[in-house]
Structure 1
Amino acid sequence: MIATTRRLGASFFNRPVLMLFIAMLSWGGNTIAGRLAIGEVSPFVLVFLRWLIVSILMTSLLYPRIRAEWPTMRPRLGVMMLMALFGFVAFNMLFYIAAYTTTAINLGILQGAMPILVLVGTVLVFRARVLPLQILGILATMVGVALVATHGDLSALGSLSINPGDGIMFLACIFYAGYTLALRNRPRVSGLVFFSVLSIFAAICSVPALAYEMASGGALWPTPDGWLIVLFVSLFPSCLAQIFFMRAVELIGPGRAGVFINLVPIFSALLAVAILSEPFHLHHGAALVLVLGGIWLSERRSALA
């Protein structure tokens, strides 16, 4: 029985598509959690608690392995701290702040821009070759994001009357795209150990923001419903999704893995309509088509390169 379980586990962790599908569904659920958290737990408290819970859980399970692989990670601890700061802490704090002034549908669709941001970063950092279809895909995705940010009124770009929450969410996406690119050169240790140490750093890096929120009187500790939200985001978007995404990047690279983020806006939109009863407008549909179409065009490189 134990041997069978181990074989099934090994088989699962070698299926990047399945892991990415579950990760994107979890992140789609995170957009709903971000909206539900309003009035139940404040943003910086939520981020601190989620990473505190994850770090305690992972460290308790993997401490011997963390200790054994620590010498390999030691030379890269500074880089790992930055990855945790931008990919785990800054992204999530901005995400939950944005949830106060924009919808779950918008949060999800804007996350669909991340694959293009990863592609642009791959070109700038790793000097990857860009094909004409990829450029067309980038432009299509940018228009889709602009539609969401201006609520279907592109003329708002001229007057800069863009929902602040959408702008904050886009900045969060830039941070996570940088984290995704950095995964390409992470220390050669097991994914679980690497994630465990990042979660510890994320909990530490979230303390200053938590202190600021408490000092300013804006801290809201979880209500009973808030604790359910904290546990959900700790176990699924924070823990399982991050582990699955990291493993998928290890198997197929950041560019291909990043493309699967296009599933987040789809899951977010469906969950927002079903759970939050948010209205789905025509510009949302147009933005989804443009974002997903742009990503599809950018991926044609696999067939043409």
Structure 2
Amino acid sequence: MKLDARTLLYLTLPPFMWAGNAVVGRLLVGIMPPVLMNATRWALVALLLAPLAWRVFQRPGDVRRRWAYLALIGSLGVGSYNALQYLALKTSSPLNVTLIGASIPVWMMLVGAVCFGQAVGRRQWGGAVLSVLGVLLVISQGQWRTLQQVQLVPGDLLMLLASLAWAFYSWLLARPPASMSGGQRPGWDWAEFLFLQVLFGLAWALLCSGAEWAAMPASVDASASVQPVVSAIDRLNAWSPGVRLVVGLVFIAVGPSILAYRSWGLGVQAVGPTVAAFFGNLTPIFAALWSALLLGQSPRWYHPCALLLIAAGIALSSYRKNQ
């Protein structure tokens, strides 16, 4: 399908919101345990969606016949991806996490080829190279020696698992089983479908949160201080730590969760997971924008250069779809 203005919006909004999630998530990781934070986030999403999606409970047979698929995509996209990312930030640096996250288009192509029979052409590989180069330019700040100093830690493996989980989640959205395709798909609207994903994913997230609590008991510390985001927001708004915690959770529940997941689903359905994955590499660019808005850090010369590389990768990888 052609990358029209609406599809571009669907695929651009998620990385913009996810960049904000990285900033706010980094803040909240210092206040509450990461897996508990993920479970709390999706519990809030479930509460927000419930008034729009409660009618799914009127047709329990539709859910029972498709519970395996719903549980799988819920555990991958809701219960696992962000929990693994938050856990990775406990031991890994943002530089390493971003580096590994930049490999998602490659994993998306490999998963599609191996598990879903999707052929990968030279244009897609070329687009992946351009896109990853753009991300490397941003996170290296235009200096090669920055990348030479990267050291792998256990959190990097967690981010790799998160990337694989997201690749499978996206492909399962684009290639659902017969019971979720065509006339066999129940008449769920977007809110009902996302609500079911959240419920199944929340069950997995709560289970993992319990394991986290048993392995390393920790408490929520609303007085924790995390630099530099906390100090910047405090200087601008003078928010108390408790208010900051509530506002941060509400933001990641509404923006990076409801809005971003809804848009991502529409974008993946329109262009497929392989092309959609390249838009995820816009996240570091938007992270620079969030930093400018929240921290007063002006964009540098390499930001527009990286944006051009990533845009070129998107254009090259989607060239055949525009014919």
Same fold? TM cut 0.5: yes
In terms of mean alpha carbon deviation, does 92-101 or 125-134 score higher? 125-134
Aligned to 1:236: 255
Q: From the superposition, tell whether residues 121 and 288 of structure 1 become closer, same or farther in structure 2 (CA, over 3 Å).
A: farther
Counting only pairs closer than 5 Å after superposition, residues 92-103 of structure 1 correspond to structure 2 as 92-103=82-93
Q: From the superposition, tell whether residues 267 and 283 of structure 1 become closer, same or farther in structure 2 (CA, over 3 Å).
A: closer
Counting only pairs closer than 5 Å after superposition, residues 90-239 of structure 1 correspond to structure 2 as 90-104=80-94, 107-108=97-98, 110-139=100-129, 152=144, 161-186=151-176, 187=180, 188=185, 189-221=188-220, 223=222, 224=242, 225-239=244-258
Q: From the superposition, tell whether residues 266 and 164 of structure 1 become closer, same or farther in structure 2 (CA, over 3 Å).
A: farther
CA contact (8 A) 2:71 2:197 kept: yes
Q: From the superposition, tell whether residues 274 and 59 of structure 1 become closer, same or farther in structure 2 (CA, over 3 Å).
A: closer
Aligned to 1:24: 15
CA contact (8 A) 1:50 1:234 kept: yes
Give the Cα–Cα distance (whole angstroms) in 2 for the partners of residues 280 and 165 of structure 1. 28
Q: From the superposition, tell whether residues 205 and 301 of structure 1 become closer, same or farther in structure 2 (CA, over 3 Å).
A: same
Give the Cα–Cα distance (whole angstroms) in 2 for the partners of residues 286 and 171 of structure 1. 30
State the 1:208 CA deviation.
Answer: 2.0
SS at match of 1:91: helix
SS at match of 2:90: coil
Amino acid at match of 2:21: N
Choose the corresponding residue for 1:44, options 29, 32, 35.
35
CA-to-aligned-CA distance 1:114-139 (integer Å, 9 cap, x gap): 23322332222332332223233345
Compute the RMSD of aligned alpha carbons.
3.5
Give the Cα–Cα distance (whole angstroms) in 1 for the partners of residues 259 and 220 of structure 2. 24
State the 1:71 CA deviation.
Answer: 3.0
CA contact (8 A) 1:30 1:233 kept: yes
CA contact (8 A) 1:262 1:292 kept: no
State the 1:259 CA deviation.
Answer: 3.1
Amino acid at match of 1:267: F
SS at match of 1:206: helix
Aligned-residue sequence identity (percent) comes to 26
SS at match of 1:17: helix
SS at match of 1:130: coil
Q: How many pairs does the alignment contain?
A: 287
CA-to-aligned-CA distance 1:193-223 (integer Å, 9 cap, x gap): 1110111111111122211222234433262
CA-to-aligned-CA distance 1:14-38 (integer Å, 9 cap, x gap): 9333233322211111110121113
CA contact (8 A) 2:127 2:315 kept: yes
Q: From the superposition, tell whether residues 94 and 21 of structure 1 become closer, same or farther in structure 2 (CA, over 3 Å).
A: same
In terms of mean alpha carbon deviation, does 234-243 or 222-231 score higher? 222-231
Aligned to 1:86: 76
Which stretches in structure 1 are left out of the alignment for 5+ residues?
1-13
